[in-house]
Amino acid sequence: MTRRRVPAVVGAGLVAAVAAVALAVPARASTPGDSPVSAPPAGGSSGPVTWSGAIPAGSSNPTSVCPTTGTIDTHTITWTAQADPQTTRSSFTAAISWQPSNPTGSETANDEVLSVANASGTVLASSDGSDPSESVTLVDPASGVYTVIACGYVNTTAQPYAGSVTASSVPVTHAPAPVAESDPGSAPPSSAMPEASLVVGLPLLALVTGGGLVVARRRRAAVR
């Protein structure tokens, strides 16, 4: 079976569609149910903070995005960001792993999905690959409450899993603005040229300019 990894950012329409078909039953909570996580100082890392959970049998989400209610298992993260994102970029990575619990041990019969939602219930990112593990990284998330959601793409039996979250921070390196060559017949170069900042060390490459944040994320394809 071949299936592409779903995009990291999910459109509001798809989220609404997933929520509409979710079963109106309470979500299960992990053990423990919540964890405080803080961004470490620049250049540092923290974690993993761990928990355990179980995804109910029959959990099926062919959109590769977990709903926020129904046959899911959840863990709450209370995230504290760095005070100055202009000098420090921080991220946290949520992950789950499992051993397929069906009698044959087939991953295709217990194929799980990982999503992360914000406090308003909007799914920000999801992961659905070809291995018995999934991970999602949020870069520079604001301080607040986030929900890590584990559900099934296909889940024939109740599936125990191990969850974790790690955090890391990197300093923002400011590059000097380029100096324009002078031309006696032209006006002096503008001094309003924005600085560029290169962020390294996270699982992506980010370039911060006066116009905003440009992110290039390496993605891994899942082939089945």
Please write the tens of the pLDDT for every residue from 192-221: 444 444 445 544 444 444 444 444 444 444
Say yes or no to pLDDT of 44 above 70. yes
Cα separation, 224 vs 212, in Å, equals 37
Please write the tens of the pLDDT for every residue from 161-197: 999 999 999 998 876 667 666 565 655 555 544 444 4
The reply to whether the predicted model has a pTM over 0.85 is no
| Mean pLDDT score, 66-92 | 94
| CATH number 2.60.120.380 given to 12-171 | yes
Domain boundaries, the chain: 12-171
Count Cβ atoms below 10 Å from residue 189 Cβ, excluding itself.
14
Count Cβ atoms below 10 Å from residue 209 Cβ, excluding itself.
12
Say yes or no to pLDDT of 141 above 90. yes
Continuous segment of H or E residues that includes residue 17: helix 12-21
